[in-house]
Amino acid sequence: MTCPISIRFSRWLLPAFLGLLTANLVACSDEAKQAPIAAQHWNDIDVRIETHPNPPQAGMSEIVVIVTGPRGRPVQDLLVSLRAAKDVPWVQAIQDGLIGVYRRAIDLGDNDATELQVRLQRGTDEQVLFFPLKLAGS
């Protein structure tokens, strides 16, 4: 007895589909992606950073500081400054609208890792937060 064409076709199609799906998932994965950098807190403010590129590279990288207050509302009344080492002067991040986002490209150095320093100033209050970064391409 011979199998109908549809049964032979489905026996061939399922393994081919699964193989193609697996190959696609492996090809589309990004092994170089770094896990998100943990958020830090100051008073009632949550501070998280993103880097472009991600993971950050030795030399110049863009740092994006995202600042939110209670209920996730943006905080826009801050002065945010960045640096990658104590012997480097602070550089002020540029406020990106009134959405609690501040950005600046800075030199992260040539080491395998660095500790990004983010200085937040609100009125007379000031706090420096430290974000460890593992650099790619060093």
Q: Whole-model pTM?
A: 0.73
- Spatial distance between the Cα atoms of 35 and 49, rounded to a whole number of angstroms: 12
- We report the CATH number of the domain holding residue 129 as 2.60.40.1930
- Whether residue 55 has a cis bond before it, omega within 30° of 0: yes
pLDDT at 16 over 70: no
pLDDT at 33 over 60: no
69-115 pLDDT, tens digit each: 999 899 989 999 999 999 999 999 999 988 999 999 999 988 888 89
Q: Is 111 inside any structural domain?
A: yes
Backbone angles phi, psi at 110, to 5 degrees: -115, 10
Structural domain count, the chain: 1
Q: Is 60 inside any structural domain?
A: yes
Its domain, for residue 126, covers 40-134
